[in-house]
A and B are shown apart, each in its own frame.
Chain A
Amino acid sequence: MVVIEELSKQYGSLRVLRNINLTMETGLFGLLGPNGAGKTTLLRTLCTLEPIERGRVSICGFDLKQEGHAIRKRLGYLPQHFQVPGSLTGEEILHYMATLKGIKNKQDRNKQVARVLEEVNLTAKARQKVRKYSGGMLRRLGIAQAILGNPSLLIVDEPTAGLDPTERIRFRTLIDRLSKDRLIILSTHIISDIEAGCEQVAVLHRGSVAFNGSVADLRNIATNRVWEVTVPFTEYEKHLRTWKVTASRQEKNMAVLRVIGDKPPVSNAKPLEPGMEDGYLITVKSDTDY
C-alpha cells in the first residue's frame, strides 16, 4: 500500500532522511524514534506537504511525486499540532474539512459528519466552539476530520501527547478499530501506544531506518540482554554511571536495577523477559543515554 524506496531529504546541509526503504500494508504501522529522528518529516512527505528530492514513494499505487492530488484524495492526516480556528464549532470544522475533501453533496456531508462525530464520541459537543474543547476532545476532533471521506491511508503524528490515561486508552481503542480496513501510520515516541496495537513497526534514528519488522522482532532484539541487579542503595549513583540502567526501584536499603547489556553486569544478575522498550533502546543506543 505504501512503498518507500531510497527516500532522502535534506534542509541545507542537514540530512534529515537517508535512503529510507519501507513497505507498509493495511493495519496499524508504528513509527518510533527519538526527537529529531525525522519521523515528522517522513510523515509530512507522505502527506505531500514536503516535496521529494531523492527516491520514490508510491501510495495506493500512485506515485507521490507525480500524482500527489490522487494521493490526497485517499489521505487522512492528524498533525502533531492540531490547530483549528477556535471560533468555529466542532461540527463547522468537520463540514469545512469535508468540503475540502470533496464531499460536496450536503446530505452526504451531513451523514459523514454525524458518523465521524459518533465514532469519536463527540456528538454531544458538536455545536460547542472548539476553543472550549479539552485537549482530548481536540485530538478526537482531529481524528474525526482525518477519517472524513473514509481514507485508505490515515497518518497520525504524536496523537496521544498530552492526553490523560483515560483519553489515551479511548484513543488507542479508536485507532485499533479504524485500522481493520486501512493503513494507519502512527508516529509516536510513547512505546506503549505502539506495543498495544501495532503489528509492524519501524524505528527511525538519525534519518535512517534503524529497525523495520514486527513488534515481536523488536522485542526479541533484547532477548538475553536484559538483567535485574540488586545493589546497596549507597552504590546506586555509581552503577548508574557504569551500567545501562533502564529502570530502577527501591526495596528497603537496596536498589533493584533493570540493566541492558550483552553480558550479565554481575554474577548474580537475574535474566529478565525483554520488552519492546528494551529492543527500541538497544536499537537507538548509540546516542541515547538510558
Chain B
Amino acid sequence: MSTMVAVVRRECGLLLRKKKIWIAYIAYVALWLWVIVPMEIEPIPLQLRGAFFFNRLNYILFFAMLFFSLIGVYGARSTRLSEFSQLMMTSPISNGELMWGRWMSQAIGVLLWTLFTIMIQFLWYQWGGVPATQLGNDVFYTGMMVGSGVLFSHALGFSLGMMGRGVWIYFLVTSGWLALFWVWSQVENHDIHAYHPMLSLFMPASLYVWVDEIYSGWGISLQLASGLLHQGMIAMLTLLVLGIAWGIFLPKRRIPWERKWNLPVIGILFIPFLCLGFLRYQGIASEWQRYQKEGEFYAHSIEKKKTSEVNWTLETMKLNVSFPRERFLVVKSSSQVVNHSRKKKGELWMTLYHSFKIQAITGKNVASWSRKGDGIHLHFKKPLAEGESTNIHFRYQGNPERIWQQTGRVKTGVVEEEGVFLRKEDGWYPLLGLRDLGDSWVDKHVPWRDFLAPTVMSEEGRTTFDVTVVDPLTPYPFTSNLSKGKGNHFKGSSQYGAMLLAGHFTHMKIMGTNIVVPPEMIPSARKIIARQQPIWQDIKKQLGTSVQPEAILFLPTGYEVDPGNERFTDQGVGVWGVQRLEQLMAEDEGTTIKGWLPVPNHSSDTQFFRAAITWGMSRQLREQHHNRLAHFIEEQGVDGIDGQKKVITYLEEADKHGRRVYQERIRSLYQAYLRQGNDDFTMRKAIQRLEQKERGGHKG
C-alpha cells in the first residue's frame, strides 16, 4: 500500500508540474467565464443561475467525459508501454500497486477538474445571492454527478487502454462517446419525443431527465436521492471496471497475492454494483410500468367527445384536504351544482382521478352513482329543473401522482415532503362534466415511444372555492391561485379552478397579477410581468377582451411542466417553467403580442388577422417596416395573401388616417370574428360587412 501511495504522490507531483495541465484548467475556467459574463452583463439570467448552469454543464460534461476517457486511454498506454513504466515494472512493485497508483494519480486530475467546476458554480451562485440551501444542494449534486461520471469515463478509457495496444482504442472511445452525445442531443433538442427510460440506467451521470426515474420537478433537491443511488452504482461500476483492468494488466507478472485475490475482489465489487443496479432498474421499471398502464387507460377508456356538461355550473366547492403521508391524500368535498338547462335533469357526470378510492358520495338528492374510468355518473332522486341546485358530498383518498411524457418525463399530482403540486387538471377534486384527464396514443413503430400528455381544460363559469389543508405533511407553506386566508386556508372565486401548491414559493401580487414564485425568482417575475403587462392592457384596449392571467405560477429550476403549448391554461393560471421564461425574455414585441392574442392561429385568415392586430399594437414593427403594412403582411408568409390585396388596401387606408382609426377598424373586425366564429371567419367577408355597415351608416 505504501508503495502505491508513493506512486500516487510522485505521479501527482509530476502531473501538477506539467504546464499544459494548468493551461487546460485555465482554458476551462475561461470557457465558463465566457458563458457567465455575458449573462451577468445583460439581464438574461432572470436569477435562474441553476437552470443556466446545469444546461451548460450538460454539454460541457459530455465533452469532459470524452476528453477524460481519452486521457484514460493515454494513461493506460503509458502505464503499459512507456520506458519509465517498463523500468518501474522491473522493480518489486505489484501490478495492482502500479496500476491503481497510476490511475489514482490521473484521477486526481479529474477531481481537480470537478473542484474547479463546483468552485465556479459556488462563486456564481454566491454572486447571484442564491439561498444557502439551494447552493448547498446544487453544489453537492454537481460534485457527485460530475465527479463520479467523469471518473467513470476516465476509468473506462483507462481499462480499455489496458486491454489493447492499438490506437484503435482512441477511435473506439471517441466514437462511443460521440454516439451517446448524439442520442442525448436528439432528446435534449426534442427531435424525438420520447426515449426508452431504461436508457437512463446506462448514463454515467445524472443529467436531468437521464437519471431520475421520472423527470421530477422541484429542482435538484428531489433528484438528489435518485442521483445518489445512480452515482453510487456508477462509482461501484468504476471500481469494477478497474478491478477487471487489474486482472487484465500483465497477468503473467502478477504476484501470488494478486493471483489469489483478483477474482474474489472482482466478485466483491460486483455484489454492491449488482444491488445498486438492481435498485435502479426496479425504480425505473416500476415507474415505467405505471406510466404504460396509465397510457393504456387514456388511450381506450374515455369517450373523448363528451368533454363537459355545458348546462351545469359548479357554484361552490368546499374542500378539506389532508396529506397523512407521501403520495397520499384524503379529501372531503362539498359542492353545489346548478342546472341551467331548460329541461329537467336527473343525472350528472363528474370527473375524479381514477386512482382515488371513493369512500362515499352523498347528498340529499343523490340516489346512486357509478364509476367509469375517471368519470362518475350521478343519478338524482328528483330531477333538477332550470335554476335548481343540489349539494353533493364526496369522501375519497389515494395517490394523486401522475407521470407524463412530453419533452421529457414529467410528474404532476405531487404530494411529497419536499413539496405539493396539485393542478385542477390532475382531477384531484371533483370536476364538473366528463373530462379527459390525459391524452395518450401509441407509436406502433417504436414500442416505447408512446405518448401521455396532460390535457388543458376550460370551465364555463366561475366557482367559489373554500379550501382547507389540515395535515400539511410538508414544512413549506401552502399557496394557491386562490386568496390565502389564515393558516392553510384558501378562498376565492375562480374560473380556472383550484391549484394547491407547497414548496419553496411565495404568493404575491405584481401589477395586479397573482404570482406564485420561488423567492429567488421574484426579480425575474417582476421583469417578466413588467414586459407583459402593457401588452395585456393594449389587447384589452384594442379588442375589449382581457387576456391577463388570473395567476401565474413560476416554476423553479428543473421543473418542466407546461400544460400543452399554450402560455396559460384557458382562463388563466399560467404555469411558466424556466424554458418558457427564457423564451418570453428572448421574444421580440411582435411575437409576444401574438402569443397573447385571443385569436388562435387556425386558418390563413386568422393568421392574417393576427398579423393585422399585431401591427396595430407594435411600434417596434412599424419602425422595422417603415410604416408599410403590406410589407409586414407579406413577410408573415400568410397563405393566399395575393388574393387579399383589397383587404390590405382597406387596412392600409385606415392606417394612413392614424393609429386610432386603424385600431377602431381592428376592433370592429374582432367583433365580426367573434360573431362568425373561428372556423367560419374570413377577412374579406368581415370587411365587406363592415363596409356595408359603414355605407349604411353614412346613408342613414
A97 engages B91 (CB within 8 Å): yes
Nearest Cβ in chain A — how far from B164, in angstroms? 16
Q: Is A165 an interface residue (CB 8 A)?
A: no
- Whether B82 sits at the interface, judged by CB under 8 Å, is yes
Apart from A48-B253, A100-B92, A102-B91, 15 more pairs, CB < 8 Å: A49-B89, A69-B94, A72-B92, A73-B92, A75-B90, A79-B83, A79-B87, A82-B87, A85-B84, A87-B17, A88-B13, A92-B10, A96-B10, A99-B3, A99-B6
The answer to whether B90 touches A48 (Cβ under 8 A) is yes
Query: Is A239 part of the contact surface with B, judged by Cβ < 8 Å?
Result: no
- Complex formed: what's the CA distance from A32 to B88 in Å? 26
Q: List 21 A-B contacts (CB under 8 A).
A: A49-B86, A49-B89, A68-B252, A68-B253, A69-B92, A72-B92, A73-B92, A75-B90, A77-B87, A77-B90, A79-B83, A79-B87, A81-B83, A83-B83, A85-B84, A88-B13, A92-B10, A96-B6, A100-B3, A101-B92, A102-B3
Q: Is B14 an interface residue (CB 8 A)?
A: yes
Residue A185 is within 8 A (CB to CB) of chain B in the complex:
no
Contact with B along A41-57 (1 / 0, CB 8 A): 00000011101000000
Does A104 sit within 8 A of B, measured CB to CB?
yes
Give the complex CA separation of A77 and B92 in angstroms: 12
- Does chain A have a CB within 8 A of B18? yes
Q: Does A84 contact B (CB under 8 A)?
A: yes
* Interface presence of B256 (CB below 8 A): yes
Cβ–Cβ < 8 Å partners of A77 in chain B: 87, 90
Known contacts A51-B252, A88-B14, A104-B2; is-contact A82 B83 (Cβ 8 Å): yes
Note all chain A residues with C-beta closer than 8 A to B82.
83
B89 closest partner in A (C-beta): A49
Q: Are B17 and A100 in contact (CB-based, < 8 A)?
A: no
Q: Which one of A48, A49, A87, A97 contacts B14 once the chains associate, using CB atoms below 8 Å?
A: A87
How far is A273 from B340 in the complex, measured between Cα atoms in Å?
133
| Chain B 81-115: CB-based contact to A (< 8 A → 1; otherwise 0) | 01110111111111000000000000000000000
Instruction: Determine how close the nearest CB of chain A comes to the CB of B147; give it in whole angstroms.
Output: 27
- A76 → B minimal CB distance (Å): 8
Q: Which of B252-286 contact A (CB under 8 A)?
A: 252-253, 255-256
A266 to chain B, nearest CB (A): 51
A146 to B7, CA, bound (A): 18
Q: CB-nearest residue of chain B relative to A142?
A: B87
A57: min CB distance to chain B, Å: 13
Q: How far is the CA of A81 from the CA of B82 in the complex (A)?
A: 10
Q: How many residues of A contact B (CB 8 A)?
A: 27
Q: Among the interface residues B13, B87, B252, which one has the most CB atoms of the partner chain A within 10 A? A: B87
Q: Give the docked Cα–Cα distance between A145 and B3 (Å).
A: 16
A83 to B85, CA, bound (A): 10
Point out the residues of chain B lying under 8 angstroms from A87, CB to CB: 14, 17-18
Write the nearest CB–CB distance from B489 to chain A, whole angstroms: 71
Give the residues in chain B near A97, CB-CB below 8 Å: 87, 91
Q: Please, which residues of chain B bring their CB within 8 A of the CB of A92?
A: 10, 13
User: What's the least CB distance linking B2 to chain A, in Å?
Assistant: 6
Task: Annotate B1-20 by CB proximity to A: 1 below 8 A, 0 otherwise.
Answer: 01100110010011001100
> A101 — nearest CB in chain B belongs to which residue?
B91
Alpha-carbon distance between A145 and B84 when the two chains are bound, in angstroms: 12
A104 to B94, CA, bound (A): 15
User: A50 to nearest B CB, angstroms?
Assistant: 9
Given contact pairs A48-B253, A69-B255, A69-B256, A100 touches B84 in the complex (Cβ within 8 A) = no
Q: Which residues of B contact A96 (CB under 8 A)?
A: 6, 10
Query: Which residues of A have CB within 8 Å of B94?
Result: 69
Beta-carbon contact of B86 and A79 below 8 Å: yes
* Chain A residues with CB below 8 A from B18, complex form: 87
User: Which residues of the partner chain B approach A145 to less than 8 Å between Cβ atoms?
Assistant: 87
Please indicate the chain A residues that have their CB under 8 angstroms from the CB of B7 in the complex. Answer: 100
Given known A79-B83, A81-B83, A83-B82, contact A72–B6 (CB-CB < 8 A) = no
Q: Contact residue range for chain B?
A: 20 to 34
Q: Per-residue CB proximity of A238-266 to B under 8 Å, as 1/0?
A: 00000000000000000000000000000
* Complex Cα gap A51–B82 (Å): 18
Minimum CB–CB distance from A73 to chain B (whole Å) comes to 5
Residues of A contacting B13 in the complex (Cβ-Cβ under 8 angstroms): 88, 92
Residues of A within 8 A of B89 (CB): 48-49
Within 8 A of A (CB), among B12-70: 13-14, 17-18
Contact call B255/A100, Cβ cutoff below 8 A: no
Q: Bound state CA distance, A73 and B93, in angstroms?
A: 9
Residue of A nearest to B10 (CB): A96
Chain A, residues 116-156, CB within 8 Å of chain B (1/0): the string is 00000000000000000000000000000100000000000
- Note all chain A residues with C-beta closer than 8 A to B10: 88, 92, 96, 99
- Do the beta carbons of B83 and A100 come within 8 Å of each other? no
Contact B2 A85, beta carbon cutoff 8 Å: no
Chain A residues within 8 Å of B6, by CB = 96, 99-100
* Contact in complex: B93, A100 (CB < 8 Å): yes
Q: Which residues of A contact B90 (CB under 8 A)?
A: 47-49, 72, 75, 77
Residues on A with C-beta less than 8 A from B256 are 69
- Shortest distance from the beta carbon of A217 to any chain B beta carbon, whole Å: 31
Bound CA span A34–B395, Å: 98
Report chain A residues within 8 Å CB of B84. Answer: 83-85
**CB-nearest residue of chain A to B91:** A100
* A30 CB to nearest chain B CB (Å): 21
Which B325-344 residues have a C-beta within 8 angstroms of A? none
Residues of B within 8 A of A84 (CB): 84, 87
Residues of B contacting A73 with CB < 8 Å? Answer: 92
Q: How far is the CA of A104 from the CA of B4 in the complex (A)?
A: 12
- CA of A222 to CA of B84 in the docked complex: distance in angstroms? 41
Q: How far is the CA of A79 from the CA of B256 in the complex (A)?
A: 26
Q: Which residues from chain B contact A85 at a C-beta distance below 8 Å? A: 14, 84
In the docked arrangement, what's the CA distance between A79 and B255, Å? 23
Cβ of A84 to closest chain B Cβ, rounded Å = 6
In the bound assembly, the distance between CA atoms of A85 and B16 in angstroms comes to 13
Query: Which 4 pairs show the lowest CB-CB distances between chains A and B?
Result: A100-B91, A83-B83, A99-B6, A77-B90
**With the chains together, A71 CA to B641 CA distance in Å?**
91
CB of A127, distance to nearest CB on chain B (Å): 15
Distance, CA A99 to CA B10, complexed state (A):
10
A45 to chain B, nearest CB (A): 11
Q: Roughly how many angstroms separate A99 CA and B3 CA in the complex, as a whole number? A: 6
Q: Tell me which residues across on chain A come within 8 A of B14, comparing CB atoms.
A: 85, 87-88
**In the complex, what distance in Å separates the CA atom of A99 from the CA atom of B83?**
18
Residues of the B chain whose Cβ atoms lie less than 8 Å from the Cβ of A101: 91-92
How far does the Cβ of B557 sit from chain A's closest Cβ, in whole Å? Answer: 44
- What's the Cα separation between A79 and B82 when bound, in Å? 12
Chain A residue, CB-CB nearest to B101: A100
A100 to B9, CA, bound (A): 12
What residues on A are CB-neighbors of B88 within 8 Å? Answer: 100
Q: What is the CA–CA distance of A216 and B249 in the complex, to the nearest angstrom?
A: 45
Using CB atoms, name the residue of chain A closest to B250: A51
CB proximity of B687 to chain A, nearest CB, Å? 83
B83: A residues at CB distance < 8 A: 79, 81-83
Chain B positions 169 through 192: 1 when the CB is less than 8 Å from some CB of chain A, otherwise 0 = 000000000000000000000000
Rounded to whole angstroms, the CA-CA distance of A49 and B89 in the bound complex is 7
Cα–Cα distance between A77 and B253 once the two chains are bound (Å): 17
Task: Report whether A102 and B92 are in contact in the complex, using a CB–CB cutoff of 8 Å.
Answer: yes
Contacts of A102 in B (CB 8 A): 3, 91-92
User: Taking the nearest CB of chain B, how far is it from the CB of A192, in angstroms?
Assistant: 27
Q: In the complex, what distance in Å separates the CA atom of A69 from the CA atom of B96? A: 13
Residues of A within 8 Å of B3, CB to CB, are: 99-100, 102, 104
- Chain B residue with minimal CB distance to A73? B92
Measured between beta carbons, the chain A residues less than 8 angstroms from B86 are 49, 79
Complex alpha-carbon distance, A92 and B11, angstroms: 11
Among the interface residues B7, B91, B255, which one has the most CB atoms of the partner chain A within 10 A?
A: B91
Give the Cβ gap from B276 to chain A, nearest Cβ, in Å.
35
Contacts of B87 in A (CB 8 A): 77, 79, 82, 84, 97, 145
- The docked-state distance in angstroms from the alpha carbon of A38 to that of B221 is 64
Q: How far, in whole Å, are A96 and B4 apart by their CA atoms in the complex?
A: 11
Q: In the bound complex, how far is the Cα of B86 from the Cα of A83, in angstroms?
A: 10
